[in-house]
């Protein structure tokens, strides 16, 4: 095992004293060499463990965060060998984007055989994303630090900071195509549901509660109510986080709000029993096949957690049509979350509605702040806002458009919208 | 929670005790260094010691490596001056035990300052973490205490052995006047040890 720089410094110091003794012809100076020589000898007799058996187990609380909260990380370190470690320096690698709030990710300790200890630190509320904690780097030194053995324990743990989920309440959709499973979407067919559909003769075995007494009195025979079946549908959430989201037309972080809205919509739609898929259009395209249940929701929010805005590599129309049309059955519902900045998006929505898909479009509200803007910038912004307004009018003829901003409560906007009134 | 706060308070108290011990060591080192100076140069020695203690205390307070280096540098310069003065006045053999003690104390102070710096980041008065953090702090205190004691014993041993070698050298000189220069032995032993070590490394 080679000497560390400190060990080398002690060795050089010893030779400096010898050199000085020779220069000054003063043999007594060589006495200063003895402590150094003893220390170097002592160190070489007690070298650090060359193959330490260290085991680590990292735990995060909460294991999955929805942002806005600090994460506590506890790392259990065990020395699984019969040799004690005189000086062990441990450092857990934290991604640069994460900030330490308290505790310490680095510690210098000594460990006895089979001893177990823990490291604790708190990361201040990280931004949405997926972070990898680890590996844990270690440095083992002898007592004097003249010899060193370093390495890494490749235990990696993923920390997911998911987008914030808001409770949107029931979302009333009207799809032309429904699945066979019971849900909350009126199917225009007789089945178990809550909305009246038609009358028919009472049949033996029918629930008495279904008897329509008024109609029975008029016709002189027992008449029963039939209800409109409520079933599930396929919903695809398309999130457009391309360069449009970075436009200065908006006064707020459009990407964050789009992602949060998409996550909340996915959560509510899954909760209502629908089959939900996701397509994210940004610098990196993401696709999650439609599916049911809590695991699917986790897949969806995990995919949304890593969304970053950026210039898309392929045209939106190609990206959406090539995948959506082949995977999502026609006449399903497509929820489009987009700043609607380009003509391409409008064409795509028109194409999708033409193919029979029910399209709901969520779009951010253009801002009005003019601080730190020159006159030409304000003028450009007004022109852009006007062009976008025209596009919105065009889109609203084909699909339902709901505008959102941090000030607008989407729950309220959803309540105001009654899809069956259009039908 | 109250027990946890009490535990962390207790650990902080221990940390301050260790730092105080390290400060006492630094004060002792610089006083020892000053004592190796002749009385007519005591003003310079006091001036150097004052700066050394100040830098050392600041380094202990802030856990800063720069101030630690400054304190060690002052110690090194003072020792060099003291040695040169003793060489010039041909009294180095008489002053050797004192100079050696100062040298060993400088090495010990450097280790103590490095140790404090290593652990300093973990101690902050306004931090209250869960039990895990208290365990960490406890381990850190344990490591510091253990290391300080072991360093003291090893460096103390070094000093005693060096004095013993010097004494043996004197005895040899008395017994065998032919070997009038003890440095022959010292140089031979030291270089042999160092070479042994280097050969062992290879």
| Per-residue burial over A115-147, b = 16 or more CB atoms within 10 Å of its CB, e = otherwise | eebbbbbbbeebebbebebbbbebbbbbbbbbb
Q: Which chain B residues are Cβ-neighbours of A39 within 8 angstroms?
A: 107, 154-155, 158
Per the domain annotation, does A172 fall within a domain? no
pLDDT higher than 60, residue A113: yes
Nearest CA in chain A to B103: A32
Instruction: Write the residue in A2, A11, A34 that is nearest to B161 by C-beta.
Output: A34
Predicted confidence (pLDDT) per residue in A242-258, tens digit: 877 777 788 888 888 99
Report cis status (omega within 30 of 0) of the bond before B142: no
Residue of B nearest to A35 (CA): B158
- Mean pLDDT by runs of 10 across the 202 residues of chain B is 78 92 96 92 93 96 92 95 91 90 96 92 66 81 93 94 84 67 59 62 52
- DSSP letters for chain B: -HHHHHHHHHHHHHHHHHHHHHHHHHHHHHHHHHHTS-GGGHHHHHHHHHHHHHHHHHHHHHT-HHHHHHHHHHHHHHHHHHHHHHHHTT-HHHHHHHHHHHHHHHHHHHHHHHHHHHHHTT--TT----HHHHHHHHHHHHHHHHHHHHHHHHHHHHHHHHHHHHHHHHHHHHH-TT---THHHHHHHHHHHHHHHHHHH-
- Give the residue, A40 or A185, on which the prediction is more confident: A40
- Give chain A positions within 8 Å (CB) of B150: 143
Give the side-chain half-sphere CA count within 13 A for B101: 15
Q: What percent of chain A has pLDDT over 90?
A: 23
pLDDT at A103 over 70: yes
**Count: domains in chain B:** 1
Inform me whether the C-beta atom of residue A325 falls under 8 Å from chain B C-beta atoms.
no
pLDDT value for A50: 79
Question: Integer distance in angstroms from the first to the last C-alpha of chain A?
Answer: 81
Instruction: Please provide the average confidence, as pLDDT, over all residues in chain A.
Output: 85
* pLDDT more than 70, % of chain A: 96
At residue A418, the pLDDT reads 56
Is B167 a domain residue? yes
In a domain, A175, yes or no: no
Contact residues, chain B, for A106 at CB < 8 Å: 121
Would you say residue A419 has pLDDT above 70?
Answer: no
Tell whether A33 is within 8 A of chain B (Cβ). Answer: yes
Grouping H, G, I as helix, E, B as strand and the rest as coil, residue A317 is: helix
pLDDT at A17 over 90: no
| CA A209, A211, A217, A220 torsion-angle sign | negative
Domain that holds residue A115: 54-161
Looking at residue A356, its pLDDT comes to 85
Asked whether residue A60 is domain-assigned, the answer is: yes
- How far is residue A93's CA from residue A106's CA, in Å, rounded to a whole number? 9
Cβ distance of A38 and B193 shorter than 8 Å? yes
| Tokens matching residue A47 | 């070298």
pLDDT in tens, B70-90: 999 999 999 999 999 999 998
Tell me, rounded to whole angstroms, the distance of Cα B119 from its chain centroid. Answer: 18
Domain count, chain A: 4
For helices B92-120 and B2-35, the axis angle rounded to 10 degrees is 160
- Please state at what angle helix B42-62 crosses helix B65-88, rounded to 10 degrees: 160
Kindly indicate the confidence band of residue A136, based on its pLDDT and cuts at 50, 70 and 90: very high
Whether residue A339 is contained in a domain is answered as yes
Q: Which residues of A touch B121 (CB under 8 A)?
A: 104, 106
Q: Is residue A125 part of a domain?
A: yes
Contacts of B103 in chain A (CB under 8 A): 32, 35
A279: β partners: A238, A287
Instruction: Find out whether A259 and A338 touch, Cβ atoms under 8 Å.
Output: no
Report A:122-151 residues touching B (Cβ under 8 A).
122, 143-144
A59 and A189 part of one domain? no
Measured from the Cβ of residue A15, the count of other Cβ atoms closer than 10 Å reads 14
Asked, for residue B195, whether it belongs to a domain, the answer is no
CA A273 distance to own-chain centroid: 22
Q: Does A31 touch chain B (CB under 8 A)?
A: yes
Query: Does A104 sit within 8 Å of B136, measured CB to CB?
Result: yes
| CA nearest neighbour of A67 among A264, A226, A241 | A264
Domain shared by A222 and A348, yes or no:
no
Is A257 domain-assigned?
A: yes
According to DSSP, the residues that pair with A124 across neighbouring strands are A99
Residues of chain A positioned with their CB less than 8 A from the CB of B83: 29
Give me the pLDDT at residue A170, please.
84
Range of the domain at B142: 2-176
Q: Which pair of tokens denotes residue B37?
A: 């100076």
> Which of chain A's residues have a Cβ under 8 Å away from the Cβ of B132?
74, 103, 118-120
Is residue B8 in a domain? yes
- Residue B195's pLDDT is what? 61
Whether residues A120 and A79 fall in one domain: yes
Q: How many CB atoms lie within 10 A of CB A276?
A: 30
Sort B89 into a burial class: Cβ within 10 Å, 0-12 / 13-18 / 19+: exposed
Mean pLDDT along residues A316-329: 76
Indicate whether A105 and A252 sit together in one domain.
no
Q: Which pLDDT score, from 0 to 100, does residue A420 have? A: 47
- A27 & A85 share domain: no
- CATH of residue A99: 2.60.40.10
Residue A196 corresponds to which tokens in the numbers above?
């009246």
Do A22 and A36 lie in one domain? The reply is: yes
- Say if the Cβ atoms of A37 and B189 lie within 8 Å: yes
Residue B140 lies in a domain: yes
Asked whether residue A369 is domain-assigned, the answer is: yes
Residue A123 lies in a domain: yes
Domain match, A37 and A63 both: no
Residue B84 lies in a domain: yes
Residues A406 and A213: their CA atoms lie apart, in Å, by 50
pLDDT digits 0-9 by tens, A202-215: 988 888 888 899 99
Q: How far is CA A219 from CA A98, A198, A199, A211, A374, in A?
A: 74, 15, 12, 13, 76
Q: Pick the more confident residue, A92 or A20.
A: A92
- What is the reported pLDDT for B196? 63
Residues A135 and A71 in one domain: yes
Q: Of A327-331, A388-392, A415-419, B46-50, which has the strongest mean pLDDT?
A: B46-50
pLDDT at B159: 94
Compute the distance between CA of residue B186 and CA of residue B202 in angstroms, rounded to an integer. 24
| Same domain, yes or no: A81 and A116 | yes
Contact across the interface for A107 and B136, Cβ inside 8 Å: yes
Which residue of B lies nearest to A119 if distances are taken between CA atoms?
Answer: B136
The answer to whether residues A218 and A263 belong to one domain is no
Distance (Å) from the C-alpha of residue B183 to the closest C-alpha of chain A? 5
Q: Per-residue pLDDT averaged across A61-66, rounded?
A: 86
Q: Are residues A393 and A351 in the same domain?
A: yes
pTM: predicted TM-score of the whole model, two decimal places: 0.76
What is the pLDDT, as a whole number, of residue A143? Answer: 86
Helices and strands per DSSP (H, E), number in chain A: 10, 20
Kindly report the CATH number assigned to the domain that includes residue A411: 3.40.50.410
**CA–CA separation, B80 and B92 (whole Å):** 12
Look at residue B130 in the predicted model and tell me its pLDDT.
62
**Cα torsion for B121, B124, B130, B131, to the nearest 10°?**
80
CA-based nearest residue to A399, from A197, A173, A227, A108: A173
Q: Coil, strand, or helix at residue A74?
A: strand
The answer as to whether B159 is a domain residue is yes
Q: Which of A37, A59, A105 to mutate to test the interface with B (most CBs of B within 10 A)?
A: A37
Neighboring chain B residues of A122 at a CB cutoff of 8 Å = 129
Assess if residue B189 is contained within a domain: no
Residues A230 and A236 sit within 8 Å (Cβ to Cβ)? no
Percent of chain B whose pLDDT exceeds 90: 55
Q: Chain A to chain B, count of Cβ pairs less than 8 Å apart? A: 147
The domain boundary, picked from A213, A231, A249, lies at A231
Report the distance separating Cα A20 and Cα A332, nearest Å. Answer: 90
Chain A interface, best mutation among B107, B111, B170, B190, by max A CB count within 10 A: B190
Q: Are residues A416 and A324 in the same domain?
A: yes
Strand-pair partners of A129: A161
pLDDT tens for A35-63 read: 988 888 888 878 888 778 999 999 999 88
| Residue bearing the bigger pLDDT, A384 or B125 | A384
- With cut-offs at 50, 70 and 90, classify the pLDDT of residue A422: very low
State the pairing for strand pair A333-337/A286-291: unpaired
Tokens 């208290």, located at residue: B134
B93/A118 Cβ within 8 A: no
Q: Does A385 touch chain B (CB under 8 A)?
A: no
């Amino acid at each position: 095992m080679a000497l560390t720089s400190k060990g080398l410094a002690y060795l050089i110091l010893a030779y400096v004293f010898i050199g000085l003794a020779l220069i000054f012809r003063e043999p007594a100076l060589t006495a200063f060499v003895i402590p150094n020589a003893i220390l170097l000898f002592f160190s070489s007799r007690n070298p650090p463990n060359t193959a330490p058996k260290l085991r680590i187990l990292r735990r995060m609380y909460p294991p999955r965060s929805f942002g806005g909260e600090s994460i506590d990380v506890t790392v259990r370190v065990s020395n699984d060998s019969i040799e004690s470690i005189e000086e062990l320096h441990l450092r857990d690698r934290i991604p640069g984007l994460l900030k330490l709030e308290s505790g310490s990710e680095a510690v210098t300790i000594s460990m006895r055989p089979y001893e177990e200890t823990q490291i604790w630190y708190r990361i201040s509320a990280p931004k949405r994303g997926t972070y990898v904690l680890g590996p844990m780097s270690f440095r083992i030194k002898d007592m004097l630090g003249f010899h060193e053995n370093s390495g890494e324990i490749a235990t990696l743990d993923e920390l997911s900071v998911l987008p914030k989920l808001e409770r949107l309440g029931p979302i009333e959709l009207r799809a032309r195509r429904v699945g066979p499973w019971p849900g909350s979407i009126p199917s225009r067919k007789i089945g178990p549901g809550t909305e009246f559909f038609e009358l028919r003769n009472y049949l033996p075995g029918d629930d008495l509660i279904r008897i329509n007494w008024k109609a029975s009195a008029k016709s002189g025979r027992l008449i029963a109510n039939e209800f409109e079946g409520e079933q599930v549908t396929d919903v695809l959430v398309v999130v457009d986080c391309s360069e449009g989201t970075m436009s200065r037309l908006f006064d707020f972080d459009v990407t964050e709000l789009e992602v949060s809205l998409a996550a909340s919509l996915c959560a509510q739609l899954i909760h209502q029993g629908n089959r939900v898929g996701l397509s994210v259009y940004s610098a990196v395209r993401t696709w999650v096949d439609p599916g049911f249940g809590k695991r699917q929701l986790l897949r969806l929010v995990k995919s949304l957690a890593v969304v970053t805005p950026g210039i898309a590599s392929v045209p939106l129309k190609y990206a959406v049509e090539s995948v959506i049309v082949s995977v999502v059955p026609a006449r399903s519902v497509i929820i489009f979350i987009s700043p609607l900045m380009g003509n391409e998006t409008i064409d795509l929505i028109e194409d999708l509605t033409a193919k029979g898909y029910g399209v709901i479009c969520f779009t951010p509200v253009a801002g009005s702040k003019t601080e730190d803007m020159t006159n030409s910038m304000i003028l450009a912004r007004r022109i852009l806002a006007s062009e976008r307004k025209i596009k919105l009018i065009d889109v609203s003829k084909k699909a339902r458009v709901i505008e959102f901003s941090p000030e607008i409560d989407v729950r309220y906007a959803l309540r105001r919208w009654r899809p069956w009134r259009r039908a | 929670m109250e027990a946890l706060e009490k535990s962390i308070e207790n650990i902080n108290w221990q940390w301050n005790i260790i730092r105080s011990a390290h400060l006492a060591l630094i004060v002792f080192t610089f006083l020892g260094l000053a004592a190796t100076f002749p009385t007519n140069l005591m003003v310079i020695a006091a001036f150097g010691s004052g700066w050394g203690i100040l830098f050392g205390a600041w380094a202990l307070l802030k856990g800063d490596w720069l101030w630690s280096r400054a304190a060690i540098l002052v110690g090194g310069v003072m020792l060099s001056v003291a040695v040169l003065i003793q060489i010039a006045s041909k009294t180095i053999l008489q002053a050797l035990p004192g100079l050696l003690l100062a040298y060993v104390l400088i090495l010990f102070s450097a280790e103590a300052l490095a140790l404090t710096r290593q652990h300093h980041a973990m101690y902050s008065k306004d931090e209250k973490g869960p039990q895990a953090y208290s365990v960490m702090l406890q381990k850190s205190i344990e490591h510091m205490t253990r290391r300080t004691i072991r360093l003291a014993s090893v460096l103390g041993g070094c000093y005693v052995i060096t004095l013993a070698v010097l004494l043996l050298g004197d005895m040899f000189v008395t017994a065998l006047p032919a070997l009038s220069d003890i440095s022959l032995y010292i140089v031979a032993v030291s270089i042999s040890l160092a070479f042994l070590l280097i050969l062992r490394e290879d």
